[in-house]
Amino acid sequence: MPLQSPRSESTAEQQTAVDKALVLLKSLAELDGEVGVSELARRTRLTKSTAFRLLGILQRNDLVERVGSNYRLGAELFDIGTRVYGPTPLILRERLLPYLADLYELTHETVHLAVLHDTDIVYVNKIHGHRAARSPSRIGARLPAYCTGVGKALLAFDHDAAEAAVATGLQALTEYTLAEPDAFRAELRRIRQEGIAYDRQEAALGLTCIAVPIMGPGGRPVAALSVAGSDHRFAPARYASALRRVAYEASRAVTTTRTRQAAMPEYNSLPAA
């Protein structure tokens, strides 16, 4: 249901109200919890009456929830958020979850499932245990593909996306990021030959990982799996065999699904990669 506005407001006034409502939503997201009107008004530099009125509109549309005298983000936002990148990530998350779980059981380290979106990667799923390393990864988050293991595993088999990343600029997020184009291209060639990608503290200091692509029909990757851990104790090569094995089984599952789709058009299957 769309946001409601008084009919008497002009287009400019409606836009102003929308801007203010979005500021409230972003402030609630940053605070990550239940917040009172006075605190929200202070943080967003709105009057208390304006904040209260807009929160009422957002509440009627299930974008925020009221808890006593406080407010928090509403469930409708989660529903909307899951549709940001289209249906493919959601379908992959559901169908490849068993393989992500298998990988976690084999390693008991933090494991990720990610897809490529333009020149970024989007984390579709993540499982971590008691030894989880500090990481910028979270479900739904985007990171530049060129400095992550899962991203490089996917860019290695997508020439156009890789060159677009180079053209955009390989900004060094840490001192270990491969920010020089020729070195980056050489790394992608190695990944194509070996089928294994690494992130050696390139996205965040202290974090290292090993990743492999999940291949669909035609030898094109549809997603990537990774195992990650703290650099001081994590030896990524140790998990290469387990990662390859799970990725192989996941690739078979994706290919089987596509085969069924071709034979039975009504079969609820993965969209084309």
* Structure-model confidence comparison of residues 225 and 18, the more confident one: 225
Kindly state whether residues 76 and 95 are assigned to the same domain. Answer: no
Report d(CA 33, CA 49) in Å as an integer. Answer: 21
Coil vs helix vs strand at 157: coil
Kindly state whether residues 121 and 17 are assigned to the same domain. Answer: no
pLDDT tens-digit map of 16-63: 888 899 999 989 888 877 889 999 999 998 999 999 999 999 999 988
DSSP state, residue 269: -
Statement: residue 267 has pLDDT above 50:
no
Report d(CA 237, CA 209) in Å as an integer. Answer: 9
Kindly state whether residues 56 and 157 are assigned to the same domain. Answer: no
Q: Is 270 a member of any domain? A: no
How many CB atoms sit inside 10 A of residue 148's CB? 31
Position 257 scores a pLDDT of 63
Kindly state whether residues 102 and 125 are assigned to the same domain. Answer: yes
pLDDT tens-digit map of 153-205: 999 999 999 999 999 999 999 999 999 999 999 999 999 999 999 999 999 99
pTM metric for this prediction: 0.71
Q: Is 224 a member of any domain? A: yes
Domain count within the chain: 2
Statement: residue 15 has pLDDT above 60:
no
Percent of the chain with pLDDT over 70: 84
In what helix (H) or strand (E) does residue 123 lie, and over which residues does it extend?
strand 120-127
Kindly state whether residues 68 and 141 are assigned to the same domain. Answer: no
Statement: residue 79 has pLDDT above 90:
no
Position 140 scores a pLDDT of 82
Kindly state whether residues 106 and 208 are assigned to the same domain. Answer: yes
Is residue 70 packed enough to be buried (19+ CB in 10 Å), middle (13-18) or exposed (0-12)? middle
- Structural domain boundaries, residue 182: 87-263
Percent of the chain with pLDDT over 90: 59
Q: What angle do CA 84, 157, 251 make, to 5 degrees?
A: 75
Kindly state whether residues 157 and 40 are assigned to the same domain. Answer: no
CATH number at residue 111: 3.30.450.40
Last residue of a domain, one of 21, 52, 80: 80
Kindly state whether residues 67 and 134 are assigned to the same domain. Answer: no
